Chain A
């Protein structure tokens, strides 16, 4: 079982090794990196490459670890006991299975994506230590232990909004997806737009990287913005000439709104241009 990237996903050799190590060592892989560098996509593409099912658990600020395991609906059981609808001695029907349980009971090993783990409460990762380590948990209501038949491959993404506890980190392999250099970026563009003109890519990347070089951006445009932007360029049939002479020091690139996502950054670009315009 070796991951080499897919047709639509260029994985650097470092990322490939990290993924393969995670698979062989049966450890969760924690992936960090700038927003838009393909952290979540990695899990989906890994599932495609290995031809496995993917189970996604999106974490929100209100998510608790228990929700990933199971939820016991006591009220429904109480109601049924009054109305006599169902057999209330069968507790199992009032237990709602969470994503981890779902992943554990698959016949084949699956990819379990725990997306944006840093969104949850600061203690959240600590509550999952044993579950991710031993791949089992105990259900009090049923008095039985749920154990993974086949260990799922766990991919965890984080945007670094909160630091994760050491005990949790200790159990993970770590990979930081650094921003792609222009050569890798060209490969990425090529897999998304196989028919694109060579020159257009060159110019688009030049403009894109010069945008990223402006200091003080709150959110630098990243891979996903670049892909959207090029899609717009192609859709509007902009060609190489439209970008050839373009210098972000003096003028805005077309479809600026797809590259810069907040008004402070647009303002910053304007200030930047004013500064160069005066000289």
Chain B
């Protein structure tokens, strides 16, 4: 019966598997919880959900599944009716007042007879009445009712702690969101650019050299230390903002946050559509705090890996004409700035958030792709990995025919 639940969870993107399912079975067989739907909800949540942004999806699936289960034809209570069992288990937990209430009705056997009678007559789910067995009524049988002589069947308690409410509330709604915050695979892709070198204080033992030196020293120990390996890669990133790039904000944010985490030496600037005389480090201060592009080349040495993130979709005149800049009157055409930059930074790639299959629709994308010597990559994980490899090795390029996959 839980298999269906498992597949519904998978359908909503919760990576539940047989492994979790068996865990749930294991937990149920070990009586970790009371037979209570509320506790079952919490237990299955702990087992199936692996991250707080899955909580909302889980609540929705549980709600739907639970409601579906409630619609199942009721078990034939009459067949399962066992007054002896009821007597043993019911009388056990009753207060003196409640026992007195039973006596008011007659005696226990009279109560049971009435229950049996009702079970015979009733053949559907029934809530809020004064005769049938159901919830919230005044008949002596059912749950959450008002009859002082009533007995609860099934539900644990009435009121605002009922189980259904917990997941119907969807407390974790705002944690879910549609933005997938998974930057982990981007980080893993960026790892390909790691460039380890040893600089700084010698803190690690160099085993090979120690053995060499010790042998040369006729067996007397001579320890050689070396600095530990550190990621020394330096990255300069220019990101296109505004206009057509607005569609790609989410992927750029992810890329940026992953890059900030992965690269200790990351310099970051913005431009709009095409690079001209200035770039700026903060969008809010675009017109007051600008850095001349010339300065970029003076400040950041050739060893910086240079990444441009942009859709490269513009009008050709923005690239080729003097004064072609969309919001500035540039004296030098954009293509010249591109040439200067690519001459200075030997390690240079372009990341393009437009899907690869659409590159042919934009003239400038094609121009710039050729201009970068086919070192333009889509912002997919594979594209990133290929890009990082190209950054490491300036001889590589990405000439794969973009229609090749079709």
Contact = CB atoms under 8 A, between A and B. Distances in A.
Interface of A: 13-14, 17-18, 20-22, 24-25, 27, 29-30, 32, 74-75, 78-79, 81-82, 122, 160, 162-163, 165-166, 169-170, 172-176, 178
Given A17-B39, A163-B184, A24 B19 contact: no
Interface stretch (B23-31, B68-76, B118-126, B279-287): B23-31
A19 to B, nearest CB: 9
Given A18-B42, A165-B184, A174-B46, A82 B221 contact: yes
* Main SS class of interface, B: helix
B51 A169 contact: yes
B37 to A, nearest CB: 12
Contacts of A165: 184
17 contacts: A17-B33, A18-B43, A25-B23, A29-B46, A32-B51, A32-B52, A81-B221, A82-B221, A122-B184, A162-B187, A163-B184, A165-B184, A169-B50, A170-B19, A176-B52, A176-B172, A176-B175
A162 B184 contact: yes
B181 to A, nearest CB: 7
A21 B221 contact: no
A81 B214 CA distance: 13
Contacts of A166: 15, 50
6 closest cross-chain pairs (CB), A and B: A169-B50, A18-B46, A14-B42, A176-B52, A163-B184, A17-B42
A78 B221 contact: yes
Contact of A175 (B19, B38, B46): B46
A157 B182 CA distance: 19
B50 A172 contact: yes
A174 B50 contact: yes
Contacts of A178: 171-172
A74 B205 contact: yes
Contacts of B171: 178
Nearest to B39: A17
B223 interface: yes
Interface in B160-212: 171-172, 175, 181-184, 187-188, 205, 207, 210
Interface centre among A13, A74, A79, A172 (most CB of B within 10 A): A13
Contacts of A13: 38-39, 42
B55 interface: yes
The majority secondary structure among interface residues of chain A is helix
B291 to A, nearest CB: 25
Interface residues of B, number: 38
A176 B55 contact: yes
Contacts of A78: 210, 221, 223
Interface in B208-254: 210, 220-221, 223
B371 to A, nearest CB: 35
A173 B19 contact: no
A174 B51 contact: yes
Contacts of A75: 205, 223
Given A25-B27, A174-B50, A20 B32 contact: yes
Nearest to A20: B32
Given A74-B205, A122-B188, A178-B172, A17 B221 contact: no
Nearest to B22: A25
Given A21-B27, A163-B183, A174 B49 contact: yes
A163 B221 contact: no
B174 to A, nearest CB: 11
A17 B43 contact: yes
A18 B46 CA distance: 6
Contacts of B207: 74
A22 B39 CA distance: 14
Given A74-B205, A163-B181, A17 B46 contact: yes
A267 to B, nearest CB: 16
Of B27, B30, B49, chain A has the most CB atoms within 10 Å of the CB of B27
A95 B277 CA distance: 61
B19 A25 contact: no
Contacts of A160: 52
B17 interface: yes
Interface in B240-294: 261
B297 interface: no
Contacts of B51: 32, 163, 169, 174
B381 interface: no
A170 B46 contact: no
B77 interface: no
B27 A24 contact: yes
B340 interface: no
Contacts of B20: 170
Given A25-B30, A81-B221, A82-B220, 15 more contacts: A20-B33, A21-B33, A22-B46, A24-B30, A25-B27, A29-B46, A32-B51, A82-B221, A162-B184, A162-B261, A173-B47, A174-B50, A174-B51, A176-B175, A178-B172
Nearest to A168: B50
A84 to B, nearest CB: 12
A17 B32 CA distance: 7
A125 B309 CA distance: 31
Contacts of A79: 221
Given A14-B42, A162-B184, A170 B17 contact: yes
